[in-house]
Structure 1
Amino acid sequence: MDCRRGSSSGTRAAGRTRGTRCWPSRKTSPATLKASSRRCRWKGVTCSNQTSHVLELDLSYGMLAGQTSSSLLSLEHLEHLDFSYNDLLSGHDGRFPEFLFSFKNLRYLALSKLSFASRVPVQLGNLSTLEYLDLTYADFLPGEVPPQLGNLSSLRYLGLASRYLYSTDISWLVRLHQLEYLDMGGINLSTIDNWLHVVNMIPSLKSLSLGNCSLPRANQSLTHINLTKLEMLELSMNYFGHPIASSWFWNITSIQVLELSSTYLYGHFPDALGRMTSLSRLGFQKNGNSATMAVDLKKLCELIYLSLDGSLSSGNITEFIEKLPRRSSSKLYNLSLNDNNMTGIMPQVMGNLTSLIALSLSNNSISGSISPGLQNFTSLEELFLSSNNLSGQIRLLPRGLEILDVSMNFLSGHLHFGAPNIKVLILSSNKITGPIPEKFCELQYLRDLDLSNNSFAGELPICSSMPYLHSLLLSNNKFSGKFPSLIQNLSNLTLLDLSWNKFDGTLPIWIGDLTNLRFLDLSHNMLNGDIPGNITHLRQLQLLNLSFNNISGSIPQSLSNLTAMTKIHMPGPTPTGPDWYTGWINNEFLEILSAVTKHQQHKYGPQSILYIVGIDLSVNHLTGGIPDEMTSLDGLRYLNLSKNCLSGNIPNNIGGMELVESVDFSWNNLSGEIPASLSDLKFLSVLDLSYNNLSGRITSGRQLETVYDNNPTMYDGNTNLCGPPLQRNCSSGNSDPEHGSDKASGENSESLFFYFGLVSGFAVGLLGVLCALLLKKP
C-alpha cells in the first residue's frame, strides 16, 4: 500500500465525502486489496459497514498510469468505480478493458478524460444497473455514439461530451425514462433536425448540454412542452442564425441557467424573458452585436450572473441598469456588458447593484465620470471600464477592489489610491498627471501595474518591498531621474517597461539580480554608460531593448547565458503556462508590450507575448565587435544593432541563429565579407546591412533573394560589395578590397590637388586685385 499524502491529487480526492480512503499502490493487486484487513481504511476505498465488501473504488485525479488487471473482478460487489483523470485504464493494446462489462452491480462508472485506442464500446449497454455514466472528453477513436446506451434504463446521469463522436439518430434517448442530466457537448448532431422532439420526450431532464453540436436550429414548434423540470440549458456555439424570440425555450420558467453564447440569435429578446423568475444565469456573449434588450428584468430576483458581451447592437447604460432587479436584496454579482456599442452617461447612483462582485462595461461609448458612489459597493472586486469616453478624476474606490481596468479613456488629474488590496491596476492611455504618490508603496498585494501612455512625471517613490509585483509598465510618460531604485526590491518582477521617459544615468549593476525578468524595455530614455556585464545573468530574459539611449562601451560577451533566447529553453506558445503568463491571459490585458521588429512597431497582447524573443541595442554609441557568442542564441527572432559604432566582422556562425526573422546591422563600421551562413536562415524576412564597410561578393541564396526583393536598399552604402543582386561586377576589380581602396585613395588625392590649385589660384588673383587698387590711391 502507498498512502500518498500531501499531494495535490490526494488532496482533491480526500476532499470527497463518501467513506474512508487511501490510495492503493500500483503493486497492490485487487485480490490482496480484498484480503487486507485494513482495506476499508484506505483512501479511495469504501466498504459496506455490514459485510466489509468493497463497494466503491475512487482513484480519480490520482496521476496513475499503466495497465489495469482483470483481477479487479474479485471485487464482485463493486457499485462505484471512478478512474477519471488518469492514464490507468488502457489495456496492453490501448483498447477499452472489456472485463469492466462484467460488474453486474455497478451503478456508477466515471472514465472522463481517459484515452482509448478504440471506439465507444457497445457493451456498455449491458451494464443494466448503471445510474451514472461519465465519459466526458474521454478520447475514443472517431465514431458514432452507440445506440445500445439506450438499454441503460436506470440511467440518471449521462456525460458523453466529446470532440470526435457523432450521431445521426438519438431516438434511443427516449428509452432513458429517468435521465436527469445529459451532456452531449461537442458531438456532431448536424443531421438531426428533430433533436428537440426527442429530448422533449424525456420529461425527467433537469440539465441539457448540447453546446457545439452543430445543431441546425432552435426555432422548432412544440405542441406541448414536457421539459417542465429543466433547470440548465446549454446551447452555446451552435449557429442558429434566426430571431431570438422564435426559440422554443422562453416559456420554460423552471430554467435557472441559460447559455446561448455564439449562437448568432438576433433581434429583440422576448418579453417572456422577464417572466423566467427562476433564472440565475444568462450567458449571451459573442453573438455579432445584432440583438436588442428592451425587456424589463426587475422580476428576475434570482439573477446572479448576466453577460451579454459582444451581442447588443446598441443601448443606453442608464436605461439598461434601471431594468435590472431593484430590490435591496438583489443577488446579482456579475454584470458584463463589454463590446456592446452602449452610450449614455455613467450612472452616479446604482443602489440596486451593491451586491456586485464584478462589473464589466469595457469597449463601449459611455461618458461621464466614475461615480464616487462606487465606494459603497463593498463586495466589488473587479471593475472593467476600459475603452470608453470617461473623464474626470478617479475618486475613492471600493476598499475591497482587486482588479481595476480603466485604460483608454480621458481620465485626468492626479492619482489617488483607495483600494489597499488591489492586485491589478491598469490606467494606461489616459491623461493622468503628477507623480506617483507615496501611498503606492502600501499596495502590498499589487501584482500588475500599467500606467503607460499618460502624463505622469517626477521620480518613482522608494518602496521597501512589493513582493507580488510581476509587471510594471510605465512607458510613454514624463518620469525622470536616475534608474529607479524601487526596482531593486521587486524580486518577482517579470516584465519591466520604462520606455519613452526621461530616465538618465547608468544602468545599475544590481539589474542582473532580477533573475525573474523576461521582458526588459528601457528604450527611448537618456541612459548612458556601459551595459553591465551581469545583465547576462538574466537567464529568463526573452526581450532586451536598450535602443535610443546614450549607452557606450561594448556588447557584453557572455550572451550565451541568456538561455531563454535559445530553442531548448525558450517558452512555447501554450494556452496555459506559468503564473506570470496565465495572469495576463485571465485579465485580458489589451496590449502588454510593444517592440520594433522588421522595421515596424508591433503591439503584443497576452496571446502573442511568448513570441517576443529579441535584442534591440540600436541608436546608441556602442563600440567594439559583435560577440561571436551572440550566434548561440538560436531561439532569437529579432536582432537590431543598427546606428552604433560597431566594427569588425559579422560573426561567421550567424547562420546558427535558426529562428531569426529580422537582422539589422545598418549604419555601423562593420567590415569584411558577408558570411555565407546567412543563406541558412530560412525564416529571415528582413535584413539590413546598409552603410557599413563590407566588401567582397554578396552571399547568394533563395531566401536572401526574396529578402532583397522586399528591401532593395539592404546593401546600400557598402561601396566594396559586388555581385548579384547589385549591378556591380566583381570581375572589374571590385572584389579586391585593397586595390579598390587604393583606387579610391588615388581618386581622392587627385580631387584634393585640383581643389587646392583652384583655391590657390583664386587667392593669388584676389591678392593681385587688392594690390592694383592700393597702387591707384593718390
Structure 2
Amino acid sequence: MAKVPMDTLQLSCVQIAVALLLLTQVETTTEETFALYPNSTLTSCITGEISALLAFRAGLSDPSNLLSSWKGDGCCRWKGVYCSNRTGHVVRLDLKGTNCGSGDGSTQVLSGNISSSLLGLQHLQYLDLSCNKFDEIQIPEFMGSFHKLRYLNLAASMFIGRIPPQLGNLSNLRYLNLRSSPHWTFDFFFNGIVPSGTSEKRKFYTGIYSMDITWLSQLTSLEHLDMSNVNLGTIVHWLPVVNMLQTLKVLRLPNCQLRSSPSSLLLSNLTSLETLQLRGNNFHKRSAPNWFWDLAGLKYLDITSSGFYGPFPDEIGNMTSIVELRLSHNYLVGMIPSSMKNLRNLERLSSSMNDINGSITELFHQLPSCSRIQKLFLAGSSLTGSLPTTLVEALRNMSWLDLSDNKLTGHVPLWIGELTKLTTLVLTSNNLDGAIHEGHLSRLHMLQELRLSKNSIAITVSPTWIPPFSLEVIHLRSGQLGPKFPMWLRWQTQVVSLDVSNTSINDMVPDWFWIVASSVMYFNIRNNQITGVLPSTMEFMSAKEMDFSSNQLGGPMPKLPINLISLDLSRNNLVGPLPLEFGAPALRTLLLYNNMISGAIPSSLCKLQSLRLLDLSRNNLSGSITDCLVNDSITNVTGLSIINLSLRNNNLSGEFPLFLQNCTYLIFLDLGHNQFSGALPAWIGEKLSSLSFLRLRSNMFYGHIPVELTKLVHLQYLDLAYNNISGSIPRSIVNCTGMTQTRDDSNGLEYAFIFGIMYAENELVDYTENFTVLTKGLERIYTGEIVYMVNLDLSCNSLTGGIPEEISTLVELKSLNLSWNNFNMKIPEKIGALVQVESLDLSHNELSGEIPSSLSALTSLSRLNLSYNNLSGKVPTGNQLQTLEDPASIYIGNPGLCGPPLPWQCSQPELIPGETHGDASDDDVGSFLLGTGSGYVVGLWVVFCTFLFKRKWRASWFSLCDRLYDRAYVQVAVTWASFRGKTNG
C-alpha cells in the first residue's frame, strides 16, 4: 500500500476542518453565531431579498430615519441586515428600537405594518423587531413560516391582540421573546384632564394575550421563553405544556395573570431549567407544596407578589444550586427555616414585605454561614431586636444590605465598618438611635448609597474627616446632623439624591454646598433653619426635584435649572420680584407660598406649558395679571396645563384674570384675599368646565352670580364670601352635581394635588398642608381630606330674595354659610334633606316664619347659627339639636322665637272676652283676680322690707342689676357695630 505524503494528509485535515466549520456556521443557533456575519463584504445581494426588504420598509413609519441606509443593491451593508458570507442570503435582521430605554433620552422606533414580503427571506435565522411601536397591529401569522428561524424577539413593541398559534411551526426556534409592555385593562381617566365637551380621546395599550398555548409544545428545541406581561389568565393547565420543553433553560412568565400552580409534577422534564420568573401572578395558595421547590438545578427563582401564603417552606433547602431567590411581597410568615443553610451558592436573598416577625439576630444565624451572600433585602419584614454586636459570618461579603421599615432598636454596631464590599446600606424607618462615627465609615471605600432616614441616628464625625467613599445617594431625613452644616458632605461631589431634611441644621449655607449640589438631581433640605441666599448659578444645576421649604432662605429667586420639574421654596424669606424668565421649560410644580415675594406676576408664566401646580399664595404680589393675555403669541392653541392654582393672600388687583380662559384643565382655583374687582365673567362656566374647587372670598367682586357658573357640574366647593355680590342664588345651582352626588374619585380634585406631592425617602411630602377651609366658624388646615370637602359659602355679600328650595338638593354639602346677606322669606322646608351638613349658618339675614321641623333631621350637624333674623314660633327640638353647644346663642336676635332652649316659654292661647269655660261664674273670676292682686302686693312688700333691713342682700341685688345692665349694653353696642359694618361694606 502506497504511503500518503504527510503534507497531503495535513491539507486534507485542514479541508475537513474548514468544511466542519462551515457546517457549524450554518447550524449554530446562538446569537453569537451571527457575529460571524457582520455587515458583509459582499457588494450585491440576492435580487429577491432586496425586493422583500424594500417592500417591508415601504409599510413602515420611520420618523428617525433608522433605515436611511436602505438604498442601492448592497443590502448586506444596510443597517440591521446581515448576510452569510458563504451563501449571500440574508440570515439576520436586527431592527431593535429604543422604546425599551436607550439611556440617552432619544426615541428611535419603527411603527406601521409588517409586510408579508418578509417571507422572501426564507434563510432568515435571526429576527429582532423588539422595542418598537407596532401599537395598532397583531403579531402577523406569517411569522410562523420562517422555518429556519432560531431567534425571534418581538418584545415591548406594543403589539395587540392574540398571539398567533402559527408560531408553533418554528420547530428550530431556541429563543422566543414575546414580552408585552405593561398595560392597562381599564380606562384611565381623571375628570378635568380631558375637558367635558371635547372630542379628545386617549388610547391606551391593552397588550397581547393567548387563550391556548398548546402550540408551545411543538418548539422542542426552545431554550429561552419570555412571555412577560402577556395575558394568560384564562389558561389553567399551562404547566403541562411548558413541561414538554425539555431543553428549556429560561422561563419568564411574570404578570401573566396566572391563577394555578400545581403542587407537583409526576414527571418533571424541566431538569435543564435555571431561571424561573413567576412574579406578579394570582396564585393565592400555600407556599408549599409547590412544583418549583423540587427543581434542584434552579439558579434563579422569582415568585414576588404572587399571593403565596403560610410559613416559609422547608423545601427551600432543596434548591442547592440557587444563586438568587426572590420571595418579596407575599404573605409568608414566621422565621426563615434552618434548611436555608443548605443554600451555599446563594448570592441574593429578597424577602421584603413578608411577616417574619422575629429577631434579626436569629435570622442572621439561619443564613448559610459559608455562603456568598452579597445582597440581602428584608425591608418591611417586622424584624425586631437589636443588630448583633459581632459580625455574623454570613454577612461578610455583603454589598447591599436593606433592613428598612422594620422594628429594629439600639445602636448601629461597629461591625458595619467591616463590610468592606458594602455599596448600599439601607436602615430607613426603624427605631435605631445612638451615633455613627468614623469607626463605622472609614473602611467603606465602595459605599455608594447611605440611607438612614427616619431614625434617631446622629452622625458625629470630626469636621476635618475626609470620607473614603463617594456617595451617590445620601438620605438622612429626621436624623441629627446639625446645628452646623456637616463638613464631610463637602467631599461628596457625585451625589444624585440628597435628603437632609429635618436634621436640625441651623446654619448659613456654605459656598461649597452649592458646588456639591450642582450634580444633585433629587434635592431635599426641607424643615431646617438654614439661612443664606439661593445661588445666582442655580440655573446651571442638574436638579429635577428640589424641596427647600420651611427654612429661612432669603434673597431673590434666581433663574431655575433647565431640567427642573418640581420646586418647593415655600415657607422661606424670599424677597424681590419673580424672575422675568423662569428658565425651566418642563416645570410641573412650583410652590412659593409663605414668602415675601413682591412685584407683578411676569407674563413669562405662560411659557411654562407643562405647569400643573402653581401656588404663589401668602406673598406680597401686586398689580394686575392680565399681561398674560389669552391671545399672547407665546401660548399655543391647546392653552396652559395648570390643574391647581392658588394666588390667595396677596395684593393682586384688576378683573378676574383673563389668562384663565386658557387653563381648560383647571380643577382647583383660589384667588381669595386679594383686591380683584369687577363682575364674575360668564365664561368661567364655559371655559373652566373641569373646575371642582373655586374660592374667591375677600375680594371686591360685584354683580350677580352668573347663571353660567352653575354649568360647572363638577363644582363641589364654592366660596364667594366677603365680596359685593348681589341678586339672588340661581335656582340652577342644582346642576352642580359635585354637591349632589357622591363620587369615589372626589371629582378629580384628588388628582389636582398629585403634582404637589414630592417623593422623598419613604415619605410623600404632601402639598395639601397649605390648604385652609373656613367651616364651623373656624379656619382649619386640611390635608388629604380636603378632597372630600363639599362647601357652599356665600356669606357677607348683598344677596337678596329667598333661599331657593333647590338648595335642599345639594345633599353632599358639609358646610353651608349664607350669613350676613339680605335673604328674606322662609327657610326652605326641606332643609333637613342636607343630611351630610356639619355646619349651617343662616344668621344676620331677614328670614321670617317658623324654623322648619325638618332641621332636627340633620344628625351630622355640629354647628348651627340662625341668629338675628325675624324668625318666630317654637324652636324645634330633637336629635342633634339637643347636643349643640351654647344653644341659646343659636337663636338670639329673633324675638318671635320661644320654647327651649330659650328662657321664655311659648304662651297659651288667649281667652276670648265674654267667653266662659266650664261652670265658672263672674263672682269666681272676681275672687280670683282679688286674691292674685293681694298676693302680689304682699309679696312685693316682703321683698322690699327684707332689702330695707338686710344691707348685704341689698348690695348684692344692686350689683346684679349693674351686671345685667352692662351685659345688655355690650350686646346692643356689638349688634349695632356689626350692622353698621355690614351696611358700609
CA shift in 2, pair 1:339/1:725, >3 Å: same
1:444 maps to which of 604, 609, 613: 609
Asked whether the equivalents of residues 808 and 828 of structure 2 are also in contact (C-alpha less than 8 Å), the reply is yes
CA shift in 2, pair 1:654/1:545, >3 Å: same
1:454 maps to which of 614, 619, 624: 619
Residue 43 of structure 1 aligns to which amino acid in structure 2? L
Q: Give the secondary structure class of the aligned counterpart of 1:509.
A: coil
Distance 1:382 1:469 in 2: 18
Residue 739 of structure 2 aligns to which amino acid in structure 1? M
Residue 394 of structure 1 aligns to which amino acid in structure 2? M
Distance 1:35 1:267 in 2: 66
Residue 782 of structure 2 aligns to which amino acid in structure 1? Y
Distance 2:835 2:253 in 1: 44
* Corresponding residue of 1:501: 674
Distance 1:23 1:353 in 2: 39
* Corresponding residue of 2:357: 190
CA shift in 2, pair 1:71/1:250, >3 Å: closer
- Cα deviation, residue 344, structure 1: 1.3
Residues 411-453 of structure 1, C-alpha deviation per residue, up to 9 Å, x if partnerless?
A: 2122214424233222211112111233333333332221111
1:364 maps to which of 528, 535, 555: 528
State which drifts further: 338-347 or 268-277: 268-277
CA shift in 2, pair 1:136/1:656, >3 Å: farther
* Corresponding residue of 1:670: 847
* Corresponding residue of 2:591: 426
Q: Give the secondary structure class of the aligned counterpart of 1:150.
A: helix
Do residues 305 (structure 1) and 470 (structure 2) align?
A: no
- Cα deviation, residue 314, structure 1: 2.5
Distance 2:661 2:170 in 1: 59
- Cα deviation, residue 506, structure 1: 0.6
Distance 1:19 1:386 in 2: 48
Residues 206-259 of structure 1, C-alpha deviation per residue, up to 9 Å, x if partnerless?
A: 221111222223431346634343222111122222122x25433212121211
* Corresponding residue of 1:88: 258
CA shift in 2, pair 1:189/1:570, >3 Å: closer
Tell me how large the CA RMSD over aligned residues is: 3.6
1:213-252 map, 5 Å: 213-222=381-390, 225-244=393-412, 246=413, 248-252=415-419
Residue 773 of structure 2 aligns to which amino acid in structure 1? A
- Cα deviation, residue 542, structure 1: 2.5
Asked whether the equivalents of residues 305 and 335 of structure 1 are also in contact (C-alpha less than 8 Å), the reply is yes
Do residues 591 (structure 1) and 759 (structure 2) align?
A: no
* Corresponding residue of 1:392: 555
Distance 2:265 2:732 in 1: 60
- Cα deviation, residue 498, structure 1: 0.8
Asked whether the equivalents of residues 323 and 347 of structure 2 are also in contact (C-alpha less than 8 Å), the reply is yes
* Corresponding residue of 2:713: 539
Runs (5+) with no aligned partner, structure 2: 1-113, 115-132, 140-150, 180-209, 759-764, 911-985
CA shift in 2, pair 1:36/1:27, >3 Å: farther
Asked whether the equivalents of residues 310 and 338 of structure 1 are also in contact (C-alpha less than 8 Å), the reply is yes
Distance 1:561 1:65 in 2: 43
CA shift in 2, pair 1:673/1:411, >3 Å: same
CA shift in 2, pair 1:18/1:314, >3 Å: farther
- Cα deviation, residue 54, structure 1: 5.1
Q: Give the secondary structure class of the aligned counterpart of 1:375.
A: helix
Do residues 690 (structure 1) and 867 (structure 2) align?
A: yes
Distance 1:546 1:452 in 2: 18
Do residues 281 (structure 1) and 454 (structure 2) align?
A: no
State which drifts further: 525-534 or 202-211: 202-211
Asked whether the equivalents of residues 104 and 127 of structure 1 are also in contact (C-alpha less than 8 Å), the reply is no
Asked whether the equivalents of residues 639 and 664 of structure 1 are also in contact (C-alpha less than 8 Å), the reply is yes
Asked whether the equivalents of residues 522 and 545 of structure 1 are also in contact (C-alpha less than 8 Å), the reply is yes
- Cα deviation, residue 318, structure 1: 6.3
* Corresponding residue of 2:969: none
1:612 maps to which of 781, 789, 805: 789
Identity %: 33
Do residues 714 (structure 1) and 890 (structure 2) align?
A: yes
* Corresponding residue of 1:474: 647
CA shift in 2, pair 1:28/1:485, >3 Å: closer
* Corresponding residue of 1:580: 752
Q: Give the secondary structure class of the aligned counterpart of 2:645.
A: strand
Asked whether the equivalents of residues 218 and 248 of structure 1 are also in contact (C-alpha less than 8 Å), the reply is no
Distance 1:146 1:295 in 2: 50
Question: Quick check: which has more Rg, 1 or 2?
Answer: 2
Asked whether the equivalents of residues 290 and 312 of structure 1 are also in contact (C-alpha less than 8 Å), the reply is yes
Q: Give the secondary structure class of the aligned counterpart of 2:885.
A: helix
Q: Give the secondary structure class of the aligned counterpart of 2:835.
A: coil
Asked whether the equivalents of residues 231 and 256 of structure 1 are also in contact (C-alpha less than 8 Å), the reply is yes
- Cα deviation, residue 5, structure 1: 6.0
* Corresponding residue of 1:381: 544
Distance 2:244 2:402 in 1: 38
Distance 1:7 1:624 in 2: 59
1:729-740 map, 5 Å: 729-730=905-906, 732=908
* Corresponding residue of 2:43: none
Distance 2:383 2:410 in 1: 13
- Cα deviation, residue 294, structure 1: 4.9
- Cα deviation, residue 178, structure 1: 2.0
Residues 273-308 of structure 1, C-alpha deviation per residue, up to 9 Å, x if partnerless?
A: 243121211111111465545587744554111111
CA shift in 2, pair 1:118/1:685, >3 Å: farther
Asked whether the equivalents of residues 157 and 179 of structure 1 are also in contact (C-alpha less than 8 Å), the reply is yes
Asked whether the equivalents of residues 156 and 178 of structure 1 are also in contact (C-alpha less than 8 Å), the reply is yes
CA shift in 2, pair 1:103/1:302, >3 Å: farther
Residue 772 of structure 2 aligns to which amino acid in structure 1? S
CA shift in 2, pair 1:98/1:216, >3 Å: closer
Distance 1:363 1:313 in 2: 13
Distance 2:854 2:230 in 1: 51
Distance 1:24 1:492 in 2: 32
- Cα deviation, residue 492, structure 1: 1.8
Distance 2:268 2:747 in 1: 44
- Cα deviation, residue 500, structure 1: 0.6
* Corresponding residue of 2:778: 600
Q: Give the secondary structure class of the aligned counterpart of 1:195.
A: helix
- Cα deviation, residue 367, structure 1: 1.2
Distance 1:573 1:281 in 2: 41
TM-score (norm 1): 0.82
CA shift in 2, pair 1:723/1:66, >3 Å: farther
* Corresponding residue of 1:412: 575
1:261 maps to which of 428, 441, 464: 428
Do residues 123 (structure 1) and 287 (structure 2) align?
A: no
CA shift in 2, pair 1:388/1:52, >3 Å: same
Distance 2:798 2:363 in 1: 72
- Cα deviation, residue 168, structure 1: 3.4
Asked whether the equivalents of residues 254 and 278 of structure 1 are also in contact (C-alpha less than 8 Å), the reply is yes
* Corresponding residue of 1:270: 437
Asked whether the equivalents of residues 540 and 562 of structure 2 are also in contact (C-alpha less than 8 Å), the reply is no
- Cα deviation, residue 150, structure 1: 1.9
Q: Give the secondary structure class of the aligned counterpart of 1:154.
A: coil
Asked whether the equivalents of residues 284 and 306 of structure 2 are also in contact (C-alpha less than 8 Å), the reply is no
Distance 1:560 1:518 in 2: 15
Residues 438-496 of structure 1, C-alpha deviation per residue, up to 9 Å, x if partnerless?
A: 33333333322211111111111223335222222111111111111121221122221
- Cα deviation, residue 145, structure 1: 1.8
State which drifts further: 425-434 or 548-557: 425-434
CA shift in 2, pair 1:651/1:231, >3 Å: farther
- Cα deviation, residue 543, structure 1: 1.4
CA shift in 2, pair 1:559/1:669, >3 Å: same
- Cα deviation, residue 312, structure 1: 1.4
2:377 maps to which of 198, 205, 209: 209
CA shift in 2, pair 1:424/1:585, >3 Å: closer
* Corresponding residue of 1:339: 502
CA shift in 2, pair 1:99/1:5, >3 Å: farther
Runs (5+) with no aligned partner, structure 1: 11-16, 91-95, 735-778
